[in-house]
Amino acid sequence: MAEKKPGIGSNIRGSITSSGLAKGTVSSAIITGFQRLLWFVIAPVIFFNVFISVAQGNTNPDAQTFVTAIQQLRLYVIAVGVPLSIVAGLWAYHLRHT
């Protein structure tokens, strides 16, 4: 009688079990990273875009200075928030893995 070779699903399951990782660790870390991205980047950028659109409709000469400042702040939030979200996801993975 021919021996049955284990399928690829059992190999993956076996390697996850032998590595000591709990099921869902990677997916939980990815979800944590996306949550941080939502709260630290996407929500503030939407908030800043509302301010920019309101200020662009204003005829006050200082409105352009305000728009420029908010656009710069939005750029800083994106530049700092995206790496922060990535690090938060990696940190969540590290904490669940150890």
**pLDDT for the residue numbered 14:** 62
CA atoms within 13 A on the CB side of 30: 4
Is residue 63 assigned to a domain? yes
> For the chain, what percent of residues have pLDDT higher than 70?
72
Is residue 15 assigned to a domain? no
Using CA atoms, how far apart are residues 19 and 93, in angstroms rounded to an integer? 14
Distances (CA, A) of 76 to 21, 57, 80, 89, 96: 36, 24, 6, 20, 30
Using CA atoms, how far apart are residues 24 and 29, in angstroms rounded to an integer? 8
**pLDDT for the residue numbered 26:** 75
Is residue 29 assigned to a domain? yes
Q: Is the separation of the CB atoms in 56 and 67 below 8 Å?
A: yes
Summarised one tens digit per residue, pLDDT across range 50-93 is 999 998 888 888 888 999 999 999 999 999 999 988 888 888 87
Query: Please, what is the angle between helix 25-37 and helix 62-97, to 10°?
Result: 170
**Rounded average pLDDT over 43-47:** 94
Using CA atoms, how far apart are residues 67 and 18, in angstroms rounded to an integer? 55
Is residue 52 assigned to a domain? yes
Residue 56 is part of which domain span? 24-97
Is residue 49 assigned to a domain? yes
Is residue 51 assigned to a domain? yes
Tally of domains in the chain:
1
Is residue 1 assigned to a domain? no
